[in-house]
């Protein structure tokens, strides 16, 4: 089972903001499109969005959030 984390910002500069966790990639993509087109700060940097697929109910050694 997976969830999808929608984020905005630059992870390398520690400036990443988690927008939410979603049960499907389609829902995460829909929210991303909404933020990208209408919200100040987000629409100014449309290429800074990322969707990460995360496996649930498993140990994740590299999880730092």
Which of the two residues, 24 and 65, has the higher pLDDT score?
24
Q: In degrees to the nearest 10, what's the CA dihedral of 33, 37, 39, 43? A: 100
SS3 (DSSP) at 59 = coil
Where do the structural domains in the chain lie, given as residue ranges?
Answer: 2-55
* Predicted structure pTM score: 0.76
- Tens-digit pLDDT profile for residues 14-43: 678 899 999 999 999 999 999 999 988 888
Distance CA 54, CA 5 (A): 7
49 forms bridges with which residues in the sheet? 8
């Amino acid at each position: 089972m997976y969830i999808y984390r929608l984020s905005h910002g630059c992870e390398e500069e520690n400036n990443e903001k988690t927008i939410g966790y979603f049960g499907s990639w389609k829902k995460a993509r829909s929210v991303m499109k909404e933020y990208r087109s209408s919200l100040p700060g987000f629409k100014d940097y449309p290429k800074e969005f990322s969707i990460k697929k995360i496996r649930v109910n498993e140990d994740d050694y590299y999880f730092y959030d």
